Every structure is written in structure tokens, then in C-alpha cells.
A and B are shown apart, each in its own frame.
Chain A
Amino acid sequence: MRDVAIVAFAQTDHLRRTDELSEVEMLMPVLHQVLDATGLRARDIGFTCSGSSDYLAGRAFSFTMALDGVGAHPPISESHVEMDGAWALYEAWVKIQTGEADTALVYSYGKSSPGEVRDVLTRQLDPYYVGPLWPDSVALAALQTQALIDAGDTDEAALAAIATRSRAAAADNPHARIAGPVPAGEYVVQPLRTGDCPPVGDGAAAVILAAGDSARALCPRPAWIRGIDHRIEAHSLGVRELTESPSTRLAAEHAGVFERPVDTAELHAPFTSQEVVLRKALGLDGSVTVNPSGGALAANPVMAAGLIRLGEAAARIHRGESDRALAHATSGPCLQQNLVAVLEGESAHA
């Protein structure tokens, strides 16, 4: 296996609407930030991979427009996943493992403002038995929440505390969409209140990956990817035990999470109750700093929020605030798919 690290990370400020910006216009500043941070030019990048979803924009092949922002002519080596950018990062990591590239630019973006994201996300559901009922993303998360409450794993007060802690942490995150005290609010779909739900908004993120000595040359303290894995569960909600996340647990085992303690965990939990499930699956206790960025409860640009978890964890290692961090990304209803990575700073091995 090659040593691969995240050497740069950038994200936009996350805003409710960005009407004045096309997707490529929203994306370009973060692409330039990660290139500037490493001193690389677009043509120096060995592989480019992006994540986004046409359903957010309502336009087919919308990612091809965004390619203008990476200088795709003359032709570059490029790929795209119709998923969160965390999975684009995984593909880029694999590409570097093959030896076909030493550096990779990974980016993702989502503009939720043009449509109704709760309705849009119903289109990822089984189209035979579930999609025709239009169960929106909050409704499905609420079913999972009630199952957790019935199981005694949490209650509404504990969920409100997760929301409060996350948004208090986001006060230190200049990019966050909502930070500071936020009222618990009314029920959106009971038992979830507005405060338990992520903000809707637009945003983008980018990271640069590099292998071995390239990484050391580009970044004073690279965030080495010591393990990364992703797993998926059955799509039928009624088959799954919604209070557990065996896919997260399995991905974490394969990524090596349990070999040594982590000091930081960036969890992609758009709903408060999902943090409860993830903490249990990952065995996180009070010694671990969870979501110091505020997490997806503070900013949830769909398709970028998972990549941002990897980026935030890496940035803490770059800054020397973490030696061993866990980053998690999710996709699909009720934590259906989960990706887990372990990132380390060099001194942890010294």
C-alpha cells in the first residue's frame, strides 16, 4: 500500500442560497485555495475526481459544467461519482494506490436551494415499494429516531443536547451555516424538531491528496490516510435494525479505527439521532472530541458534507490539533451507506 495523505482542504462559506453563482462559480474559489495552498497548478494534478448529484440542480450531467473550473482542456484524467465527495476521495485514493497518479484533486458541491431537498432525496429510494409514497428525508430519519427512543438509546433531551453542542462548536467555524444557540423548535416530523435537522444550503469543498514524499513536500504535516473503507446495508428499511449501524462498524474495523484510540471524530450525522447510532457503532466515549466543526448540523451542503468531514479531520491534523482522527461520511436514508477513514499526523508514529 502507498502512503497517501490529505495535504490541503478548503470549503466555501455555507449559505442558504447562492443565486448569483452557478455551480462552477461557487466551486472555483475552493479549487484555487487548495491549489494555492500546495503550490500546484491544475495541470500538475494526476487525477481529478468529483461528487455531486444532478437531482439537486434538476439538470442532467451538471457536473460536466463544473469541469470548466479545473481546466479540463486539454484533456485531464478525471472521474465523477453521483455521490458525496467522500466517495470521490475514496476513488482517488484507489487511483493513487494503483500507481497511476501521485496527486489527486477531489471536490464536491451541492446547491440545495433550487429545489426542495426533502423531496429531491426521495428519488434515491427504491422506486417500486417506497418511492411512490414520497417519504421525505426527515420522515425517514424520524422513524429511526423513534426506534432509538423506544430502545432506550436516547430521548428528546439528549438529542437537543447534541444539537446544542454541535452549534456551539460551530461558533469557531467561520464557514458554518448556523452556529450558536438555536431553539429546539417545532416538530418537523415527530420526534424530530427543527433543531434536530440539518440546515439546508449551498456549498462546496475540495481536497488534494498526495502520495509519499510528494505529500511531505506539499504540506508541513500531512494527514496520512492510515485506513479507509466503505460499506452498505440493505436498501429496504424494514430489513434493517435501525438502531444499529453494522456498516459503519465494519468499515471502521477495516479502516483500523479500533487498533488505537482516536482523539477526534468528524461524524457525518445530518440528524441528531444519527450521532447516537454512530457513537455506538464506533465505540466513541467522552475522551474523543466529536465534531469540533459543528458537523452537518451546522452546515449540510448535500454531496459535500461527507467530504468536509474528511477535510475537517485532516485540517485538525495539519494544524497540530489532532494526532489520530476518525472521519465518517454517510449517504442514503437512515445511514444506509457509510465510509470511515483514519487520519494520522506524522508525530503520532515518531
Chain B
Amino acid sequence: MPDVLSAPLVVEFPFTRSLGPVQSAFLTGLRERTVLGVRTGDGKVLVPPVEYDPVTAEELRELTEVATTGTVTTWAWNPAPRRDQPLVTPFAWVLVKLDGADTALLHVLDAPGPEAVNTGMRVRIRWAPQRTGAITDIACFEPYEGEATAESTAHSGEFADPVTGIVTPARLDYTYTPGRAQSAYLNALSERRTVGERCPSCRKVYVPPRGACPTCGIATAEQVEVGPRGTVTTYCIVNIKAKNAMNDAIEVPYVYAHIALDGADLALHGRIGGIPYDQVRMGLRVEPVWTEGGRHPDHYRPTGEPDADYDAYKELL
């Protein structure tokens, strides 16, 4: 399959999340080098704290401060840190039961090697120099010589300037491959041809082809060249300017239309140009306009032909 296309695809999103009273107190506390847990009805201290008891679903609000030292309950040595993980040098993933807590917190431990880590070892928090109210305010844990205590003291959870929301950035990198049918479509477009695929059963021609007939549920294979001219079947007038740079040059209002290319049994989307937006109409005959080096039509413009008869495209609405 030499013609199969692929391209980098980056999905990046900074999710903005609001915090409830318990999460707000916990993350604000980290900013102030204070670790808070929450006490359950049966007296257990959960760190990190949650707003509802994981066993009884009872609402939990009784905050309590625990130590910044603790004990490793399990661990795993990570020889090859991945992007965005807390340390760039090899480290141990650890679950740490902080002194005064009854449950364990997931974080990382800075240690010279796996031989320096064991379940039951004593550790303490190394704080990040810049703290914003996030779990990463704990830079990591580090080995610590000191006996376990059971210290836990009631805490109001009140701080000046509490953190009420966090932004959690995420980035995932993909190599996108559109598959056989769409690769063929995109390759043809780069030669300024539009190809669809015909269903072997119902004989309809789908553009763009996705490799399957949505009516018959079977593979389409026979390539059919369609267009270049087509008919506007329906349209809308866009009044809000697109934010991305690629569409910066497009002035509003403009028309976005469904266009049934000649020979196609499905309308595709395209922008209509070369005509005032308020003169676009159903049945308008259009043709693609290519820009130099463009891999797809930039927009469609009127051909000047008489409008298509409604009956000619009503099935494609």
C-alpha cells in the first residue's frame, strides 16, 4: 500500500477544572507545604482526600493535617521516564502512606537506583520551589531517616487566597493514517480530481469515500471520478469569524454549503465564494477553485450555468 497517507496529529487541551471544597483545601494546602487528609465516619484518614467516602458514599468534610513524611507501601522502578512525568532521571513510582494517614498517595521517589528502594522505606516530601496549588507542588519524595508517627491534627482547611480551579494540560501525539479509501480520495484531490466510491449493492457513489456503504454496510471499492462541477443542495451563512490562523483571511459573513458534485450520491461540504453571501441559493451551480499548491479546493464559485432543477438534487438533501 504505497499510497497510504500518514501525518502527525497532535491533540492538546488545557482542561480547566473547578475544585470542590475538599480538593480546593488539599491543593491550596500543598501550595502552603501543608498536607491535608479527610476523616471518614469510621475515623480513617484518607490522603489524598475525597469528598465522598469510597465505601459508604457519605459526604466527607472533616479535614485533618498529616505529616510530610511517610512509608512506601509499594513501588516500581521506572528506568526510562516519559514526557511530562515528574522527574527526568530514572525514578521509582511509589504509593506512600503519609504519617497520620490510612491510605496511600501516588507519586514518585527520587532514588539512585532500584536497590535503594524497598517497601516499608521511609520517605519525605521534596517540595517544588514554585508551587501553584497542584499535585506537582510535591516535586517528588526522597529517602528520609526517621520513625513513623501517627500525627494528624484537625485543620480548618481555610487558607488565604484559596485555589478554586486547576488547569490540567494534556498533549498526546499521534500519527494519523486515514486508511485506503480516504487516502485514495486525498491523493486524487492533490491532482485536482475528486474520486468517490460506488457501492456494489445499491450503486450509490459516496464522496468522500470512507470505504463502506452506510446503507448496505458493505465495503465500497470501485472508484468513480465525480465533478468537478456540482449543485448547492443547502447552505448556511456563517457570521462568526473562525479563530484558527488557517481561516484568518476569510471574511464574515460567508456561506458554507452542501455541494452535490455531478455523479455523486452524497453532498460534501465546501465554502462558497465569488458571489455575495445573500445571493447564494439552493440549486446554484458551482465549481471548485484551487489555490497554487493546495491539496484541496479552497472554495467553490458559481459556474454561471442556470440553476439546477429541484428534482435533480432533492434526494441528496
Contacts and interface: CB of A to CB of B under 8 A. Distances in A.
A213 interface: no
B75 A143 contact: yes
Contacts of A136: 82
Contact of A71 (B77, B176, B215): B215
Task: Name the interface size band of chain A.
Answer: 35 or more
B74 A69 contact: no
A23 B85 CA distance: 31
Contacts of A220: none
Nearest to A70: B217
A116 interface: yes
Contacts of B85: 133-135
Interface in A179-229: 187, 189-192
Interface string A20-47: 1111110010011000000000100000
A236 B78 contact: no
A28 B219 contact: yes
A68 interface: yes
B15 A143 contact: no
Q: Is the interface of B mostly helix, strand, loop or mixed?
A: mixed
B293 to A, nearest CB: 25
Nearest to B120: A150
A187 B93 CA distance: 14
A147 interface: yes
Interface stretch (B103-111, B145-153, B187-195, B235-243): B103-111
Contacts of A1: none
Given A20-B1, A136-B82, A128 B166 contact: yes
* Residue with the greatest number of chain A CB neighbours at <10 A, chosen from B46, B83, B214: B214
Interface residues of B, number: 66
A81 interface: no
A348 interface: no
A134 B84 contact: yes
A28 B9 CA distance: 25
Contacts of B217: 28, 31, 42, 68-72
B281 interface: no
Contacts of B93: 135, 139-140, 142-143, 189
Contacts of A157: none
B77 to A, nearest CB: 4
Contacts of B303: none
A89 to B, nearest CB: 20
Nearest to B215: A73
Interface stretch (B205-213, B226-234, B294-302, B308-316): B205-213
B76 A146 contact: yes
A65 B19 CA distance: 35
Contacts of B106: 129-130, 133, 135, 143, 237-238
Interface in A58-98: 58, 65, 67-74
B182 interface: yes
B118 to A, nearest CB: 9
Interface string B177-208: 11111110000000000000000000000000
Nearest to B72: A146
Nearest to B118: A150
A22 B75 contact: no
A145 interface: yes
Interface in A126-162: 127-136, 139-140, 142-147, 150
Contact of B168 (A22, A28, A72, A131): A131
A129 B74 CA distance: 18
Contacts of A134: 82-85
B95 A234 contact: no
A320 interface: no
B208 to A, nearest CB: 11
B135 A129 contact: yes
A25 B181 contact: yes
B275 interface: no
A128 B9 CA distance: 26
Contacts of A143: 74-76, 93, 95, 106
A192 B83 CA distance: 20
Given A131-B168, A189-B78, A68 B48 contact: no
Contacts of B75: 143, 146
Contact of A32 (B77, B107, B218): B218
Nearest to A190: B77
A133 B219 contact: no
Contact of A133 (B6, B19, B50, B136): B136
Contact of B172 (A116, A147, A189, A239): A116
Q: Which of A22, A70, A74 has the most CB of B within 10 A?
A: A22
A67 B214 contact: yes
B112 interface: no
B79 interface: yes
A254 interface: no
A238 B95 contact: yes
A3 B19 CA distance: 46
A140 B50 CA distance: 20
A146 B6 CA distance: 40
A78 B170 CA distance: 31
Closest 6 CB pairs of A and B: A22-B179, A71-B217, A142-B76, A238-B104, A234-B54, A190-B77
Interface of B: 1, 4, 6, 9, 11, 15, 17, 19, 23, 27, 46-48, 50, 54, 73-79, 82-86, 93, 95, 97, 103-108, 114, 119, 134-136, 166, 168, 170, 172-183, 210-219
12 contacts: A20-B1, A22-B211, A25-B211, A74-B215, A115-B174, A118-B82, A128-B27, A143-B95, A187-B79, A189-B79, A190-B76, A242-B74
